[in-house]
Amino acid sequence: MREFFDQWALYRKVVDHDYLFHGEAMKALSRWLAGRRMETFLDLGCGDASFTTGVLAGSGIRYYEGVDLSPVALELARQNAARLGCGCGFTCGDFSVEVSRIRGVFDVVYIGLSFHHLRRHQKEAFFGAVGGRLARGGAFVFFEPALRGGEGRDVYLEKWIALARRNWTALTDEEMAGVVRHVTGSDFPETVADYRALAAAAGLGRSEVLFEEEAGPYVVMTFERGK
């Protein structure tokens, strides 16, 4: 638990300073959700669910389900989801595994800053499993980093680290070193075109970029399942 909260405190510092552009991502997602009829929402890798429950507050959603590997995070998610005033469910496990096990289908399946940790073959399986969790007319939405143009992972990492070291001034040297270790060992983003190809192979149709950060790699994208 101490390890969780040490890591969580660093993550919250990053989020609170908006270093990963959560503010713009939240605005984009809120605008998109405002134009949809939605009753059920699956939140993969939900963490404490503060981001998604903030977006969903007042939406009239009927059922929310969160999935996360950490039972400590899920307890925080339960507290945050209480504000939605709807039925809730929580599953403790790896999102890439549990997405195939969860019963039922959802109007929206969402994931944020999580599936870019998967390798390409794992992403292919993940997109396929997400397609099986979507109701007809439903949408898969994600907030993730993307490779720009023809750049490869090495260029992405070099640019990401340089940007963080220049702008993430609230972090200590030790915290920055931990962030760099995490990113270099765990980040495997794809291009927007690759994400679209993965979605198409999983039977997901029309896609839209809701937000694309100019100075960094982050995008919010949607992919819809046909009716």
pLDDT, averaged per 10 consecutive residues of the chain (227 residues), comes to 62 91 93 90 95 92 95 92 96 96 96 95 96 95 91 94 95 92 94 94 92 89 89
List of residues 6+ apart from 41 with CB closer than 8 A = 52, 56, 61, 63, 64, 65, 106, 107, 108, 110
Best CA proximity match to 146, nearest among 34, 62, 25? 25
Best CA proximity match to 91, nearest among 136, 44, 123, 141? 44
Spell 5-29 as b/e; 16+ CB within 10 A means b. eeebebeeebbeeebbbbebbbebb
Total-model pTM: 0.94
For the chain, the domains span: 18-150+190-224
Cα 29 from Cα 56, distance rounded (Å): 10
CATH code of domain 18-150+190-224: 3.40.50.150
- Are 136 and 40 in contact by the 8 Å Cβ rule? The answer is no
Helix (H, G, I), strand (E, B), or coil: what is residue 167? helix
Radius of gyration of the chain (CA): 17
Best CA proximity match to 116, nearest among 157, 81, 165, 72? 157
